[in-house]
């Protein structure tokens, strides 16, 4: 039986970018359902999602604002496809992305695939291209995927929108662990990969929006580094067959270097009275 696909778009006060995101999905040459979960937004998020009048779109709304992990889990659990892709409401898919990834996932030995990505600004202008998946192009086993994510960090893997995985595997591992806000997607990807192989695609499949209003920009460096530290040690504790002590040490060392760099930047900004550097 051919796999079916659900594109899940968790959205909170996303009126600025949601239409562009949804159009990038609807223009894909593939069959899918597009599920938008409005996380009790106070702007026009829900109205924009419903305005398309496309039978492929299903719009749900929370009665109250859920934490990001709970919201993403609810979106995925409300989906009906055998395959799932989560697209943040400010990111976009590139033309041909779904067809290319569905072709990869037709190989039953592949549990998850992801492609390379681009960075766009708030207006959608291209800033960088050809990013992601260092050391992960081609077929890789679960251990290589988990070790590489721990050693290099989630930013080197790419945005959530670049990945595609099986709903069945999501359910088996218990979904996203929402207390790991910053790395919760790669934590999930490492765990679902235990059911097969990872395929890193050379195709550029998504664009991540570097903006002043997304969660990444609104999360402090300390919170990100703390989340990453907890991720390293939790994934190693839960899956010692995937991540070893050396991997955790390498990942933690990377975090220390990042913390020291941030400290130097803050010191320079304070001394020179340059708040723009913070």
For 206-240, the pLDDT digits (tens) are 999 998 766 655 556 788 889 999 999 999 999 99
Strand segments (E) across the chain: 5-11, 33-38, 57-61, 83-86, 92-93, 110-120, 126-131, 138-140, 163-166, 197-209
CATH number, residue 123: 3.90.550.10
The pTM (predicted TM-score) of the whole model is: 0.89
The number of distinct structural domains making up the chain is 1
Q: Is residue 136 part of a domain?
A: yes
Within 8 A by CB and 6+ apart from 69, the residues are 176, 177, 178, 179, 180, 181, 184
Q: Is residue 259 part of a domain?
A: no
For residue 71, which of 33, 41, 111 has the smallest C-alpha distance?
41
Mean pLDDT value across residues 164-176: 98
Q: What is the pLDDT of residues 50-108, one digit of tens each?
A: 999 899 999 999 999 999 999 999 999 999 999 999 999 999 999 999 999 999 999 99
For residue 134, which of 153, 160, 161 has the smallest C-alpha distance?
153
Structural domain range at position 84:
5-211
Q: Is residue 137 part of a domain?
A: yes
Q: Is residue 29 part of a domain?
A: yes
* Average pLDDT in the chain: 91
- For position 259, what pLDDT does the model report? 82
For residue 195, which of 105, 85, 79, 74 has the smallest C-alpha distance?
105
Q: Is residue 88 part of a domain?
A: yes
Residue with the bigger pLDDT between 221 and 115: it is 115
Q: Is residue 43 part of a domain?
A: yes
- For position 211, what pLDDT does the model report? 80
Q: Check if the beta carbon of residue 153 is closer than 8 Å to that of residue 257.
A: no
């Amino acid at each position: 039986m051919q796999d079916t696909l659900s594109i899940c778009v968790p959205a909170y006060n996303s009126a600025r970018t949601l239409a562009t995101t949804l159009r990038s999905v609807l223009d894909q040459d593939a069959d899918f359902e597009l599920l938008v979960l409005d996380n009790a937004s106070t702007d026009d998020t829900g109205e924009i999602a419903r305005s398309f009048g496309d039978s492929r779109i299903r719009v749900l709304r929370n009665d109250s604002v859920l934490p990001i992990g709970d919201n993403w889990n609810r979106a995925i659990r409300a989906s009906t496809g055998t395959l799932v892709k989560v697209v943040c409401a400010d990111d976009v898919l590139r033309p041909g992305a779904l067809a290319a990834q569905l072709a990869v996932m037709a190989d039953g030995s592949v549990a998850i695939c992801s492609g390379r990505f681009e960075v766009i600004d708030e207006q959608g202008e291209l800033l960088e291209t050809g990013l992601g998946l260092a050391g992960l192009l081609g077929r890789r086993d679960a251990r290589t995927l988990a070790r590489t994510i721990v050693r290099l960090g989630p930013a080197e893997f790419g945005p959530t929108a670049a990945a595609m995985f099986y709903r069945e595997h999501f359910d088996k591992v218990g979904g996203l662990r929402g207390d790991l806000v910053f790395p919760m997607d790669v934590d999930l990807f490492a765990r679902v990969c235990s059911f097969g192989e990872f395929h890193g695609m050379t195709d550029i499949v998504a664009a991540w929006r570097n903006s002043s209003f997304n969660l990444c920009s609104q999360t402090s460096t300390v919170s990100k580094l703390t989340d990453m530290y907890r991720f390293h040690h939790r994934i190693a504790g839960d899956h010692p067959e995937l991540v070893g002590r050396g991997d955790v040490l390498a990942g933690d060392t990377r975090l220390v270097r990042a913390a020291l760099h941030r400290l130097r930047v803050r010191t320079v900004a304070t001394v020179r009275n340059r708040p723009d550097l913070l």
